[in-house]
Amino acid sequence: MNILHLSRHGEMDRRISGEMNYLARQGHQVFFLSTPVSLEGAGLKPEIRCLMEYAPRQPGPPAQGRSLNARIRRAVLTLPVSLALPCYAFLIGLMDRRLYARLEALRKSGMPGITPDFIHIHDLRLAEYALFLKQRFPAVKLIYDSHELTPFQNSNLKVSRYILERERWIIHSMDAVITVNQSIAGRMRELYGLNRVHVLYNSAEPIAEEGGQKIQDLFHCPELPANTVKVLFQGSLTENRNLENLVRAFSLLPKQFHLFILGNGPLKKELRALAGSNVHFADSVKQAALLPMTRQADFGIIPYLGDACENNCLCTPNKFFEFLEARLPICSSRLLELNRILELYQNGACFTMRSPEEIAVAIMEMQKRIERGEFTKSALEAAARDYSFERQIRVLDEVYQI
């Protein structure tokens, strides 16, 4: 089969690369078209055909451009609703103009040498365009892969309603719908009256590891005492993640508790200004070096607040699966899907985290439970096994039989 993957993600998403690699290993012809993105270190199999030229990653912090785009979008959304929604749509279209120009050229040319049997779509806007491609190729099957609860990724109600109606209109034209966890799948069935939403969790495809660097060397901190409790947060440093309260909490904890923040983003400067001597920062590392570093922590922490937006409440962020794969106990705020999994496997615990004081209490309690041996090796192994890439990716076998 010929399978075309469409994406407009700002970075090469490991979910997309894992899906494409799996399909290529199954003997399918896989094509990839996205907004300009670096493929450096993405681990794509060489037989996957990319339909655009992709520039190597530019040096410097990777989140600055996306941060500017986010600030512009937020400014647009302060306009009256009659202006905000068309301006928002125009802005997104402007940022994606190269992708749409390439898509239109392919559509007009009849996609020589491709003739897709399936189009696997990773974004709502591209789902709309895929319907135009289906007019050219009536037999093509459309698969909508929703990485988030798309209409509810922010607290702006007018934008949520706008996106909700667009997704409602588009989703019933899809031949199959996939999303990232059971909670979001249930919400999509409820919102749109769908009979079936397939679930493929964001487990990371196994790759050859590159390790050996000590955590204190990566974070440029002095040699730590043997009784140091190493708490790890890894991921983008952006708004609505409760990171400010997480950093403040460490000023309330005993000196043996240290927070290691691995990642980049627009909040990094602000978080550094809040941090004491027991909070350490390092830039993101490539996937091959991530797990060897993650395993050196005592536990991972996910402090997101579910009331920031509904998508946060239902999310299963990438770091959750990285902690699972590293067999690391997980300290999480009370997010619906994370709470369900941690209660089922007993490989971590959920706590109230609305203030620095509550986060400090949660971290102290988490360490006490680890010392009591509550999160057993067998529990950590069971969670890692059931949410492994090898198990999760098999969902695609069923999806592609439509």
pLDDT at position 62 over 50: no
pLDDT at position 33 over 90: no
Q: What is the CATH number of domain 215-386?
A: 3.40.50.2000
Which residue has better confidence, 70 or 200?
200
Q: What percent of the chain has pLDDT over 70?
A: 83
Among 234, 237, 330, residue whose Cα is nearest residue 291: 234
pLDDT at position 286 over 50: yes
Domain residue spans of the chain: 2-203+391-399, 215-386
> Which tokens sit at 53?
């030229």
Q: What is the pTM of this model?
A: 0.85
Q: Best-predicted range by mean pLDDT among 80-89, 99-108, 347-356?
A: 347-356
Which residue has better confidence, 101 or 62?
101
Strand-pair category, 49-50 with 118-121: unpaired
Specify the pLDDT at position 275.
97
As a whole number, the mean pLDDT across the chain is 87
Encode burial over 231-258: b for 16+ CB neighbours within 10 A, e otherwise. Answer: bbbbbbbbbebbbebbbbbbeebeeebb
Specify the pLDDT at position 96.
53
Asked if 2-203+391-399 and 215-386 have one fold, the answer is: yes
Specify the pLDDT at position 210.
80
- Of the pLDDT bands very low, low, confident and very high (cuts 50, 70, 90), residue 105 is low
Specify the pLDDT at position 336.
94
Task: Return the CATH fold of 2-203+391-399.
Answer: Rossmann fold (3.40.50)
Question: What's the pLDDT tens digit per position in 172-184?
Answer: 999 999 999 999 9
Task: Count CB-CB contacts under 10 A for residue 355.
Answer: 13
φ, ψ dihedrals at 90, nearest 5° = -65, -40
